[in-house]
Amino acid sequence: MTQLPELARELIDGKNFATVCTIEADGAPQASIVWVTRDGDDVLFSTVRGRRKASNLEADPRISVLVTDSASGYQYAEIRGVAEITDDPTGALIHELAQKYTGQPFNLPPGQKRVIVRVRPAHVVSYDD
């Protein structure tokens, strides 16, 4: 596992959106914008079981997460690694992320099956202008 450099930690800890790229069954890339947080050097985000990114990761756990500074698009960190998916029956992570990004609770639809995607970094590239 690779440690995150300070810039990557700062970007993930801030209110910066991330683009996650997964691999479709036909090998094509698929990108989505997500809210992120950290657990040590792991990057975490929430999604719904059955969405394309979750399905893609269940078939092929390789992932790239690009976090760009919302104040300056010239600072970024790309984290490449392998994703691990776990159930989040109470939606604890999406509630935490909603507070971080919006300051409001998340309106979790009844019956929605949330999962936590944990990205274990294998390679990190960061750029600070």
pLDDT digits (tens, 9 = 90+) for 1-46: 789 999 999 999 999 999 999 999 999 999 999 999 999 999 999 9
pLDDT digits (tens, 9 = 90+) for 73-109: 789 999 999 999 999 999 999 999 999 999 998 998 8
Q: State the number of CA atoms in the 13 A half-sphere of 36 facing the CB.
A: 33
What phi and psi, each to the nearest 5 degrees, are found at residue 108? -80, 115
- CATH fold group of domain 6-128: Pnp Oxidase; Chain A (2.30.110)
Q: Which one-letter amino acid corresponds to residue 123?
A: H
Strands of 37-39's sheet, edge to edge? 29-34, 18-23, 62-68, 75-87, 114-128, 42-48, 37-39
The pTM (predicted TM-score) of the whole model is 0.95
Is residue 70 helix, strand or coil?
coil
